[in-house]
Structures are given as C-alpha cells and as structure tokens.
C-alpha cells in the first residue's frame, strides 16, 4: 500500500499536546478558534468540557489531554480549539497549540511503533517522520467515538 501511493502527499494540521506533535487531515478541519466561553454540560464524560457558541451553532468541546488521559494543564494564550467534522459530527478539540499546516508524503508514514508513549494506541493511525520531527497521525473516527 505504502509503496503504491509513494508519490502522494496528504495535507495535515499539526498541533501540540504535552510537547508531542499530532496531525489530523486538513479535510476534517473546519476552523481553528481561540478559547471561547465554554458552557459545562452536566453528567457527560469528563473529557467533554461542554459546548460553545460557534457562530450560532452549539458545538461540543473535547479536551484532548483528558481524552488521551494526559496531565491536565491550564488554558493559556496558545490554547486553541480545532473544530473538526467527521460524518455528521462537528466537535471542537482543545489542544495546547496549533500552528502548522504540512504536506506529509504518505511514504513517510509508518505503522505505529510498539510503544508510543502514554497515548492509547487505539487513537493512532501511524507515525510520520519529517526531518527531525515526529508527527503522530490521529485516527479521527476513534477520537470522536463517544462510546469508548
């Protein structure tokens, strides 16, 4: 598979969580927002931080640190909400910072190594090596699966 598609690139949005870099395909990303007022929704999973008013549309927000069971941190000026859309679901992901759009050659993506740190392996599609950077490619359908 990889060799067949060797010539192709995919465009990704790169964001940071705990000094690690993650990537999601750009076609899933609707917009990137600064942190807005979040209204807490009671009695839902703890990683669902609540809902925001995204230009008239009530949009649920997931804290990716909590989703991946990483240490919590305070939101600061770099914190961003990446609005992603998959199937009919539109959800905002809270990340430490989001600052890059990159072309990743498919050939540089490798299946995930046996140990990828603390992020649950289920969430990961593979790892892309670019120069000295290591991008963790996220499996969006799992990240956005509310039942897990």
Partner 1 sequence: MELNQYLEVFIEESKDHLQNCNTQLLELEKNPHDLKIVNEIFRSAHTLKGMSATMGYEDLANLTHNMENVLDLIRNGNLSVSAAILDVVFLAIDDLEEMITSIAGGGNGKRDVSHVIQKLEMIEHGKEFADNPVLTDDVNNAIEKEASPSHLQYDEYERTVIEESMEQGFIAYEIKVRLREDCLLKAARVYMVFEVLEKIGDIVKSSPSVDQLEEERFDQEFFVTLLTRESMDYIRESVCKVSEIEFSEAAPLTLHSSLSAVQETAAAVEVIEKPITKTEKNTIVQENESVKKPVSGKTIRVNIERLDILMNLFEELVIDRGRLEQISKELNHGELNETVERMSRISGDLQSIILTMRMVPVETVFNRFPRMVRQLARDLNKKISLNVKGEDTELDRTVIDEIGDPLVHLLRNAMDHGIETPDVRLKYGKPEEGTIELRAYHSGNHVFIEIEDDGAGISKEKVLQKAISNGIITEEHSKTLSDQQVYELLMASGFSTADTISDISGRGVGLDVVKTTIESLGGTITINSNPGHGSLFSVQLPLTLSIISVMLVEMESEKYAVPLSSIIETAIIKDEDILHAHNQRVIDFRGKVVPLVFLNEVFNVPGHGREDRVHSVIIVRKGDKMAGLVVDSFIGQQEVVLKSLGNYMGEVFAISGATILGDGQVALIIDCNSLIK
Part in contact with partner 1 (CB under 8 A); list of ranges 15-23, 34-42, 107-115, 131-139: 34-42
In contact, 92 and 33? CB cutoff 8 Å: yes
Task: State which residue, 59 or 135, has the beta carbon closest to partner 1.
Answer: 59
130 is a contact residue toward partner 1 (CB under 8 A) = no
Q: Smaller CB distance to partner 1: residue 104 or 140?
A: 140
The mark string for 56-75 relative to partner 1 (x by CB under 8 A, - otherwise) is: xxxxx---------------
Q: Please give the residues from 81 up to 120 whose contact with partner 1 meets the rule CB under 8 A.
A: 87-91
Name residues whose C-beta falls within 8 Å of residue 24's C-beta, 6 or more positions apart in sequence.
12, 13, 15, 82, 84, 137, 138, 140
Residue from the set 41, 101, 121, 134 that interacts with partner 1 by CB under 8 A: 41
- Other beta carbons within 10 angstroms of residue 135's beta carbon come to 21
- Note the residues at the interface with partner 1 (CB under 8 A): 37, 39-44, 48, 50-53, 55-60, 87-91, 144, 146
């Amino acid at each position: 598979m990889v060799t067949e598609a060797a010539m192709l690139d995919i465009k990704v949005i790169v964001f940071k969580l705990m000094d690690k870099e993650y990537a999601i395909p750009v076609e899933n990303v609707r917009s990137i927002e600064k942190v807005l007022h979040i209204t807490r929704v009671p009695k839902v999973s703890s990683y669902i931080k609540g809902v925001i008013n995204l230009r008239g549309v009530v949009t649920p927000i997931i804290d990716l640190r909590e989703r991946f069971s990483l240490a919590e941190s305070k939101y600061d000026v770099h914190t961003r909400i990446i609005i992603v859309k998959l199937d009919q679901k539109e959800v905002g992901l809270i990340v430490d910072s989001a600052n890059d759009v990159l072309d990743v050659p498919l050939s540089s993506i490798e299946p995930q190594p046996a140990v990828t740190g603390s992020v649950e392996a289920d969430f990961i599609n593979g790892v892309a090596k670019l120069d000295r950077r290591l991008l963790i490619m996220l499996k969006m359908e799992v990240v956005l699966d509310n039942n897990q």
